[in-house]
């Protein structure tokens, strides 16, 4: 069971109980199958009972699995256990096996086991805080997914999706979170309704406890994500609305401000032609401030979205910027760069959608540009020493070189 948790990130509490029934059925299927295979051509009549036995055992096993998988919660997801706890598990098993040889009483064995289990359960409760902020941009091809780990131990997922049927929530983000020992996602922010920003969210909801989800009114009132909103309700995930000028609390000493879009009803009341505002331009934009360093997550805003952002009351200056709309061509890209004045920029996309003029604009202003399709996942770490950027592909290559 520990090895299953380590490699597949699932725990099956009913394993011991089900094995009592499953193992005999599997044994009957294997033995009966070999008998039928070996003697079937020579003594077809004599092996008929074994064929029936094998067939009915297989049907029984299939129905047993189907019954438990559909009527009971036979497994739950877990983060990657440390090797030390896997070793402890097997040491306990060995201890139970050999205890009689050393005349160790059962009560003492149980006390030692419970003590170790308590250390295992409570050891993770006091190690959530860190002295830095980490932003990881995953390589999800044409899509977006950012995971932010805050100094107070909380975390936030900003978008998760890709422009294909590949489930990046299941196959990219979840394995990373398990590897990091993350069991709970404190907040998910969905910038807008397009698949390449949110089609991986259901797999995260399924595999992790999620406390809050934030969307804007454009997303909520579009009517295009009814199933996703229903999933939030079914899983009892609190859903909140956000708009320009609001602050997402609970992440101090970091500060998280929403800087786009303005409230939809407020725009309508001011006579703004919201019907002309595209889905991309209504993307939620976050400005994260920690230790005087700032990160601007732009999602998919285009020309109109950039104008709205720059006309807002909040100062958009940032050290790290998510290049809007996957690095595609936007006529006022230089206006954004001149106002934000970033030192680092990250593009989450495939090579064919990134505009040459966008790359040239960031190079013109000497911005260090990272691209997930070339660099893999990129992590920015903010601490007292400033900002450090690391690339997943470079790390893998260095590790491979060290093994040669």
* Backbone angles phi and psi of 135, in degrees to 5: -115, 120
Q: What is the pLDDT of residues 128-147, one digit of tens each?
A: 557 899 999 999 999 999 99
- Buried b vs exposed e over 344-372: b needs ≥16 C-beta within 10 Å? bbbbbbbeebbbeebbebbeeeebebbbb
The residue to which tokens 């000493």 are assigned: 253
Q: Are residues 65 and 206 in the same domain?
A: no
Q: Are residues 113 and 253 in the same domain?
A: no
Q: Is 99 exposed, middle or buried (0-12, 13-18, 19+ CB in 10 A)?
A: middle
How large a percentage of the chain has pLDDT more than 70?
Answer: 88
* Backbone angles phi and psi of 333, in degrees to 5: -60, -40
Residue 274 DSSP class: G
Q: How confident is the model at residue 204 (pLDDT cuts 50, 70, 90)?
A: very high
User: What are the structure tokens assigned to 134, written together?
Assistant: 């980490």
Q: What is the pLDDT of residues 156-198, one digit of tens each?
A: 999 999 998 899 999 999 999 998 889 899 999 999 999 999 9
Q: Are residues 242 and 170 in the same domain?
A: yes
Half-sphere exposure of 2 (CA within 13 A, CB side): 14
Residue 281 DSSP class: T
Residue 398 has pLDDT above 80, yes or no: no
Q: How confident is the model at residue 121 (pLDDT cuts 50, 70, 90)?
A: low
What pLDDT is stored for residue 64 in this prediction?
85
Residue 43 has pLDDT above 50, yes or no: yes
Question: Contact, 20 vs 87, CB < 8 A?
Answer: no
From CA 110, how far away is CA 2, in angstroms rounded?
19
Q: Which one of 43, 60, 77 terminates a domain?
A: 77
Q: Which one of 102, 126, 150 terminates a domain?
A: 126
The mean predicted confidence, pLDDT, of the chain is 87
Task: Residue 195: give the domain boundaries.
Answer: 133-403
- Calculate mean pLDDT across residues 26-39: 90
- Calculate mean pLDDT across residues 254-259: 96
Q: Is the dihedral of CA 161, 162, 165, 167 positive or negative?
A: negative
What pLDDT is stored for residue 265 in this prediction?
81
User: What are the structure tokens assigned to 213, written together?
Assistant: 């989800």
CATH number at residue 148: 3.60.15.10
User: What are the structure tokens assigned to 93, written together?
Assistant: 């098993």
- Calculate mean pLDDT across residues 247-265: 93
Bridge partners of 146?
137, 158
Q: How confident is the model at residue 207 (pLDDT cuts 50, 70, 90)?
A: very high
Q: What angle do CA 306, 307, 312 make, to 5 degrees?
A: 100
Q: Are residues 52 and 139 in the same domain?
A: no
Q: Are residues 88 and 53 in the same domain?
A: no
From CA 134, how far away is CA 231, in angstroms rounded?
29
Residue 397 has pLDDT above 70, yes or no: no
**Cβ within 8 Å of residue 360, ≥6 positions away:** none
From CA 368, how far away is CA 364, in angstroms rounded?
11
What pLDDT is stored for residue 6 in this prediction?
66
Residue 352 has pLDDT above 50, yes or no: yes
Relative orientation angle of helices 15-39 and 48-71, to the nearest 10 degrees: 150
What pLDDT is stored for residue 305 in this prediction?
94
Q: How confident is the model at residue 222 (pLDDT cuts 50, 70, 90)?
A: confident
Q: What angle do CA 171, 172, 178 make, to 5 degrees?
A: 90
Q: How confident is the model at residue 314 (pLDDT cuts 50, 70, 90)?
A: confident
Give pTM, 2 decimals: 0.77
Q: How confident is the model at residue 402 (pLDDT cuts 50, 70, 90)?
A: very low
Q: Which residue has the higher pLDDT, 25 or 97?
A: 25
> CB neighbours (10 Å) of residue 93?
10
Residue 325 has pLDDT above 80, yes or no: yes
Q: Are residues 276 and 201 in the same domain?
A: yes
Q: Are residues 93 and 160 in the same domain?
A: no
Q: Are residues 237 and 92 in the same domain?
A: no
From CA 260, how far away is CA 274, in angstroms rounded?
14
Half-sphere exposure of 192 (CA within 13 A, CB side): 25
What pLDDT is stored for residue 75 in this prediction?
66
Q: Are residues 90 and 142 in the same domain?
A: no
What pLDDT is stored for residue 176 in this prediction?
94
Residue 223 DSSP class: S
Query: For the chain, how are helix, strand and coil distributed in percent, rounded to 5?
Result: 45, 20, 35
* Backbone angles phi and psi of 72, in degrees to 5: -135, 155
Q: Are residues 97 and 69 in the same domain?
A: no
> CB neighbours (10 Å) of residue 175?
13
Q: Which of 29-43, 96-110, 233-247 has the highest mean pLDDT?
A: 233-247
Q: Are residues 149 and 172 in the same domain?
A: yes
Q: Which residue has the higher pLDDT, 351 or 94?
A: 351
Q: Are residues 215 and 344 in the same domain?
A: yes
Residue 403 has pLDDT above 50, yes or no: no
Q: Which residue has the higher pLDDT, 106 or 367?
A: 367
Total tally of structural domains belonging to the chain: 3
Parallel, antiparallel or unpaired: strands 293-297 and 320-322: parallel
What pLDDT is stored for residue 348 in this prediction?
97
Q: How confident is the model at residue 120 (pLDDT cuts 50, 70, 90)?
A: low
Q: How confident is the model at residue 307 (pLDDT cuts 50, 70, 90)?
A: very high
Q: What is the pLDDT of residues 64-98, one digit of tens each?
A: 888 877 765 666 677 677 777 777 777 777 777 77
Relative orientation angle of helices 356-364 and 333-340, to the nearest 10 degrees: 30
Q: How confident is the model at residue 1 (pLDDT cuts 50, 70, 90)?
A: low
From CA 193, how far away is CA 390, in angstroms rounded?
30
Q: Is 314 exposed, middle or buried (0-12, 13-18, 19+ CB in 10 A)?
A: middle
């Amino acid at each position: 069971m520990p090895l299953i948790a380590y490699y597949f990130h699932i725990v099956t509490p009913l394993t011991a109980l089900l094995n009592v029934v499953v193992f005999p059925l599997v044994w009957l299927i294997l033995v009966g199958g070999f008998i039928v295979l070996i003697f079937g051509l020579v003594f077809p009549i004599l092996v008929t009972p074994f064929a029936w036995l094998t067939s009915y055992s297989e049907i029984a096993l299939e129905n047993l699995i189907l019954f438990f998988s559909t009527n009971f919660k036979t497994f739950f997801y877990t983060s990657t256990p440390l090797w030390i706890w896997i070793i402890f598990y097997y040491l306990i098993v060995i201890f139970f096996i050999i205890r009689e040889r050393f005349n160790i009483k059962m009560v003492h064995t149980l006390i030692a086991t419970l003590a170790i289990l308590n250390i295992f359960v409570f050891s993770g409760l006091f190690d959530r805080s860190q002295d830095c902020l980490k932003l990881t941009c995953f390589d999800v091809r044409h899509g977006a997914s950012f995971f932010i780990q805050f100094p107070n131990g909380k975390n936030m997922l900003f978008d998760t999706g890709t422009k294909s049927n590949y489930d990046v929530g299941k196959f990219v983000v979840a394995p990373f979170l398990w590897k990091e020992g993350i069991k709970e996602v404190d907040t998910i922010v969905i910038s807008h309704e397009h698949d390449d920003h949110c089609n991986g969210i259901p797999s995260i909801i399924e595999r992790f406890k999620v406390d809050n989800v934030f969307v804007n009114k454009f997303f909520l009132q579009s009517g295009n994500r009814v199933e996703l909103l229903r999933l939030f309700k079914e899983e009892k995930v609190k859903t909140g609305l956000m708009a320009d000028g609001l602050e997402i609390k609970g992440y101090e000493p970091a500060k998280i401000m929403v800087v786009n879009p303005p409230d939809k009803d407020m725009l309508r009341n001011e006579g703004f032609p919201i019907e002309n505002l595209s889905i991309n331009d209504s993307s939620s934009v976050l400005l994260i401030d920690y230790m005087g360093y700032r990160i601007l997550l732009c999602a998919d805003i285009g020309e109109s979205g950039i104008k709205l952002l720059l006309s807002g009351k909040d100062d958009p200056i940032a050290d790290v910027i998510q290049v809007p709309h996957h690095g595609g061509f936007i006529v006022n890209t230089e206006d954004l760069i001149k106002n934000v004045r970033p030192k680092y920029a990250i593009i989450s996309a495939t090579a064919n959608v990134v505009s040459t003029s966008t790359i040239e604009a960031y190079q013109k202003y000497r911005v260090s540009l990272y691209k997930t399709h070339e660099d893999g996942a990129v992590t920015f770490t903010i601490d007292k020493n400033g900002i450090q950027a690391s690339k997943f592909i470079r790390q893998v290559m260095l590790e491979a070189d060290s093994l040669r």
